[in-house]
Amino acid sequence: MPNTEMRYRTALLGGTFDPVHAGHVHLFHEACAKAGIRRLIVIPAYISNFKRGSYPASFEERSEMLRLAFCDYHSMYPDDDLKLELSLYEGERKGISYTSETIRHFYGEAAEGGKVNFIIGDDIIASLGHWHDIEYLRSHVRFLCFTRLGFLENGSGAEVVFIPSDVCHASSSEVRAGDRDMLTASVRRYADENKLYRA
């Protein structure tokens, strides 16, 4: 059961998902099991502000792999009470994907206690204070940081809730370099059929 001090209902998870891998699927489970999330809105970036021009897979391909990963997740964690939703918002609006603009779009339907829960990894903390439109994010976002490192120094001024997370090593960059064992079964089959991520 999730810690009652860290029980939220709805959260957003953004990223390039190039590709979605077993580590992401494990994070879906952690969000449900350790933070009480029951609705997770997953938002692939059209063009990430941090990774411009680096995609071997199109937005449509990355979105389809997410749909397949959702199916794999429900097969792998059948007891989880989590609704996964794929949002194509950033792909439909096109352009560079800024988190603040996405938060504004979802604020009315996703805010809890005046803030939107937005999931991040511990690798984000050091740069969080430099994100685009950080003043808006400080007042409208509660960052849920799933960390393997324990409490981290947060100098961003934003609200960050640290949630201990089990290690699941998987890396999109390693998949792009040719390690396809980090993909779930359906995603790997799709990548093979579409000749994606071949070293």
The per-residue pLDDT for range 108-141, each reduced to its tens digit, is 999 999 999 999 988 889 999 999 999 999 999 9
End-to-end CA distance of the chain: 41
Alpha helices in the chain (DSSP H): 22-35, 59-76, 89-93, 99-110, 134-140, 172-176, 185-193
Structure tokens at 92: 């439909």
Would you call 32 helix, strand, or coil by DSSP? helix
CA angle 21, 23, 25 (to 5 degrees): 75
Tell me what the mean pLDDT of segment 30-40 comes to: 96
- 195 and 76 Cβ atoms separated by less than 8 Å: no
Kindly report whether the global pTM for this prediction surpasses the value 0.85: yes
Structure tokens at 140: 């409208």
- 155 and 138 Cβ atoms separated by less than 8 Å: no
Question: Predicted confidence band at 2 (pLDDT cuts at 50, 70, 90)?
Answer: very low
- The whole-number pLDDT of residue 61 equals 96
- The whole-number pLDDT of residue 50 equals 53
- The residues spanned by each domain of the chain are 7-193
Q: Is the dihedral of CA 119, 121, 126, 130 positive or negative?
A: negative
Q: Which residues pair with 40 in a beta bridge?
A: 11, 84
> Is residue 117 within a helix (H) or strand (E), and if so which, with residue range?
strand 116-121
Q: Domain 7-193 class?
A: alpha beta
29, amino acid identity: H
User: In whole angstroms, what is the distance from residue 155 CA to residue 129 CA?
Assistant: 7
- The whole-number pLDDT of residue 1 equals 36
Q: Is the dihedral of CA 24, 13, 144, 8 positive or negative?
A: negative
Q: Which residues pair with 15 in a beta bridge?
A: 44
